[in-house]
Structure 1
Amino acid sequence: MPNLSTANQLTALEQQLLNRATEFVPYLQTFGTLIDEERDIPNEVIQKISDAGLFKLGTPKEYGGHDVSIRAMVEIISEVARGNGSVGWVVQIINGNNYNASLSFPPAVLDLIFNQEEEVRFCSVLLARKATVEKVDGGYWVKEGFWGFGSGSKQATHALLNLLDAPAMSKSNGPTLAVVPMSQVTIVDDWYTMSLRGSASNSLQMKDVFIPEQFVLVQDMKQAPPMPIEVTGRDQYRPYVQLITNITTGISAILGLARGAVEHFVEKAPHKGITMTVHTSQAAVGHIQYTVGLAAMKVESAHLHIGRAIDNLERHVKNAEQLSLKEIAQLQTDMTYAAMLCWEAVDLLVAESGGSVIADSNRLSQIFRDIRGGSNHALTTASTGLELYGRVLMGMPPQHLLTLAAASFLKQPASELSK
């Protein structure tokens, strides 16, 4: 299934990285069953991804990264996921977190982090399930902490963790983000799932760990000042980091999985009949043709929604403009709606794939499981996004915590509903 991006939207370097990712697709497809069975990505695969520079998409150039555009990040990572969902998910999470961390912490702290490792890779969990943390001289003492779904934890060098759990967050004006080397974090081997089995989305645990104050960022959304207009370059994106998270750490892998499903079905259909019928080739059957067309249009429509969100964000960044509450909600809903369209496309194809599709080793079955889990992520859950957009359109305050955080950071009151 063709990538809908046009050459003039990517730089020469970004196109080169996209081509590298595309070249990996057949290679990654051979590891599908092994990755699911081992619940891990082979070191060989991780090394090839690293050698190709695909873990440095969101890393600033001053630290040896590529610092690609948000659009390029989506396109490149979706190609990786077209080869394998777990690999795409890990590449997505690490690059998105590297990008977000580099926009959140001051340069002096980034120097300490990125100059310690040849290749920094962040996993993250932005809400603790349980955290007992004490402010002490020079930093924070984590008596006990437990965080769920630390995707990419086995490949990460650092974790970006919110030191607040839900009760503490309800009393706070924003998260308390800490950068912690993975050497101080215990990975709990509890990722036994039907979906994204190789993503290492294990729980993370800390006990009696001291975190120096310089590696902790207390975000007060109610006090965050707007970014001055004269700021240029990468720093222009700093006020929008809450919204960028929606794009960089959720939808790319889902888009790639859906593209891969359409391609796989189209490749197999001419050589596959329909049991208990006279049809010897699915490709010659009218309702299969209709289903493939519908599935493909859903995936292409999802890409258009993603593109609209990126275009809108880039326009506001370029003009140093704040987004209205409606625009913030629309951007978030574009991501969740795109995820729903991708999931629906795969579901349509699975329904026409016969009994063999239920085998664990069946590629479409692997995609089906991975995209279902990915679409259930908090940033890509369609029901949450559509509720959000409906509430804002009808003049009600948003229910989504990330919307409230982004609106607060950008100084948009909940009652502001400008078009």
Structure 2
Amino acid sequence: MANLSADHQLTAVERQLLQNAAELVPYLQNYATKIDEDRHIPDEVIQRVSEAGLFKLGTLKKYGGHEVSIRAMVEIISEVAKGNGSVGWVVQIINGNNYTASLSLPSEVLDSVFNQDEEVRFCSVLGPRKAVMNKVEGGYFVEEGFWGFGSGSKHATHALLNLLDAESMQESKGFMLAVVPMSEVTIVDDWYTMSLKGSASNSLKMKNVFIPEQFVVRQDMIDMDSSPVELKGLDRYKPYVNVISAITTGISAILGLARGAVEYFVEKAPHKGITMTIHTSQANVGHIQYKVGLAAMKVESAHLHISRTIDNLEYHVQSGEKFTLKEFAQLQTDIAYAAMLCWEAVDMLMAESGGSVIADSNRLSGIFRDIRGGANHALTTASTGLELYGRVLMGLPPQHMITLGAAAHFVK
């Protein structure tokens, strides 16, 4: 399926990375059963993805990364997800987190983390189930912490963990992010799911861990002493890091899964009949043609909403003009609505695929399971996003933590 108007907006390097991702698709599809059965991505697959440069999309150029645009990140990662949902999800999470870290952390911390031979990969959890920590001399002491779900943690070198519980987040309207080497984190083997099985999104825990103060940053204070118009270069993106996270760690894999579903159905339809009917080819049946057209339009409409989000974000970043509350709420709702459209498209194709689609080995079955889990992520849940937009349109205060934090600082 064409990427609508995205290709001409990518640089030569970004187009090459997109091609690298496309070449991996058949390879990843062949690993689908093993990935689900093992509940993690095999090392050889991680190595192939790394060799293709696909773990360095969100890493700054000064640290050997590609520092691609947000638009390019969506396109490249969605291509990976066409090969396998779990791999796409992990690639999405690691790149989004590396980008978030680059926008959030002081330069001296970034230098200490990224200036090493090992490829740096961040996992993250922004909503702790338990976080008991105290401010001590020189930093913070985490007595006990439990975070779920740590997607990509099995393949990460560092974790970006929020040290504030839900009540503290509501009070501060932001996060307290700590950079923690994975050697200090215990991965809990509790990821037994129907969806994104290979993402190994296990829970993470820490007990009696000291974190130096320079490795902890409050997101609600990032560059808020400066207005967006005073910031330069990549720093201009810093005030918007939370909503950027919704794009870079939320929607790309969902879009790719839906694109892959349409392509797979279209590929199989000419050679698949409809049991108990005279139809020998789904492709020749009117109502199937209608459903394929509708599903494809839903996916393409989702891409248009994502593109609108990126366009609106880029305009405000470059101009320094503040968002209205409605505009900012629309950013978040566009992403959640896009996820809903993608899920609806896959669900529609699933319903027209006959009884054989329930087999675990059926590619569409895997896509169906993976996209259902992905669309339930807190950053892409449609009901939350639509509630947010409806509240703002009706003059009510937003209920979403990201919008609440933004309204306090850079929304007019």
TM-score by length of 1: 0.96
Is 1:58 aligned to 2:87, yes or no? no
SS at match of 1:159: strand
- Kindly provide the amino acid, as one letter, of the partner of residue 328 in structure 1: F
Contact map agreement 2:140 2:211 (CA 8 A) in 1? yes
Q: Which moved more, 1:131-140 or 1:341-350?
A: 131-140
1:253 is matched with which residue? 253
Aligned to 2:331: 331
1:5-404 to structure 2, matched below 5 A, reads: 5-220=5-220, 224-227=224-227, 229-404=229-404
Comparing 7-16 with 228-237, greater Cα deviation is found at: 228-237
For 1:402, the aligned partner's letter is I
**1:117, CA displacement in angstroms?**
4.5
- 1:174 to partner: Cα distance: 2.4
> Identity of counterpart residues, as a percentage?
76
Distance 1:95 1:208 in 2: 29
1:343-397 Cα distance to aligned partner (Å, 9 max, x none): 0000000000111111111110000000000000001001111111111111111
Structure 1, residues 307-343: CA drift from partner, whole Å, max 9, x if none? Answer: 0110011111111111111111001000000000000
Distance 2:51 2:30 in 1: 19
SS at match of 2:274: coil
Matched residue SS, 1:235: helix
Contact 2:228 2:239 in 1 (8 A): no
Structure 1 residue 408 displacement after superposition: 2.0
Give the secondary structure class of the aligned counterpart of 2:172: coil
Deviations 1:40-59 (A, max 9, x none): 10111100110111000000
Between the aligned partners of 1:205 and 1:57, the Cα distance in structure 2 is: 28
Q: TM-score under structure 2 normalisation?
A: 0.98
CA separation in 2, counterparts of 1:16 and 1:118?
Answer: 23
Structure 1 residue 130: deviation in Å? Answer: 0.5
Whether the 8 Å contact between 1:358 and 1:365 is mirrored in structure 2 is: yes
- Give the Å deviation of 1:233: 1.8
**Offset from partner CA, 1:203-255 (integer Å, 9 cap, x none):** 00000111111101134459933435343221111111121111111000000
How far, CA to CA, are the matches of 1:326 and 1:226 in structure 2? 23
Paired AA for residue 260 in structure 2: G
Are the counterparts in 2 of residues 59 and 67 from structure 1 also a CA contact under 8 Å? Answer: yes
Aligned-pair CA distance for 1:304: 0.4
Q: What's the CA shift for 1:116?
A: 3.1
Displacement of 1:157:
0.4
Aligned equivalents of 1:93 and 1:390: distance in 2?
29
Which stretch shifts more, 1-10 or 156-165? 1-10
1:246-289 Cα offsets, whole Å, 9 max, x none, are: 11110000000000000000000011110111111101100000
Report the CA distance between 1:95 and its aligned residue.
0.4
User: Contact (CA 8 Å) 1:243, 1:406: kept in 2 or not?
Assistant: no
What is the CA distance between 1:165 and its match in structure 2? Answer: 1.5
Report how many residues are paired: 412
| Matching residue's letter, 2:352 | E
Q: SS at the partner of 1:78?
A: helix
CA contact (8 A) 2:262 2:296 kept: yes
State the Cα distance separating 1:191 from its structure 2 match: 0.3
| Deviation per residue, 1:19-42 (Å, 9 max, x gap) | 111111111111111111111101
Which stretch of structure 1 is more off in the superposition, 273-282 or 109-118? 109-118
**Structure 1: distance between partners of 2:168 and 2:87:** 34
**Kept in 2: contact 1:242–1:405 (CA 8 A):** no
Answer whether contact 2:269 2:281 (CA < 8 A) is retained.
yes
Partner amino acid, structure 1, of 2:268: K
Distance 2:12 2:65 in 1: 15
Tell me the CA shift for residue 168 of structure 1.
2.9
Structure with higher helix content: 2
SS in 1 for 2:297: helix
**Which whole-Å CA distance do the structure 2 matches of 1:52 and 1:223 have between them?**
34
Q: Contact (CA 8 Å) 1:221, 1:408: kept in 2 or not?
A: no
CA contact (8 A) 1:226 1:409 kept: no
Aligned-partner Cα distance in 2 for 1:228–1:7 = 29
CA gap 1:220/1:309 in 2 versus in 1, 3 angstroms: closer
1:243/1:332 contact within 8 Å kept: yes
Give secondary structure in 2 for the equivalent of 1:140. Answer: strand
CA distance in 2, matches of 1:5, 1:34: 35
Q: Distance in 1 between matches of 2:75 and 2:377?
A: 20
Which structure 1 segments of 5+ residues have no match? none
Structure 2: 5+ residue runs without aligned partners? none
Q: What do the CA deviations read for 1:177-212 (whole angstroms, capped 9, x no partner)? A: 100000000000000000000001100000011111
CA distance in 2, matches of 1:227, 1:63: 27
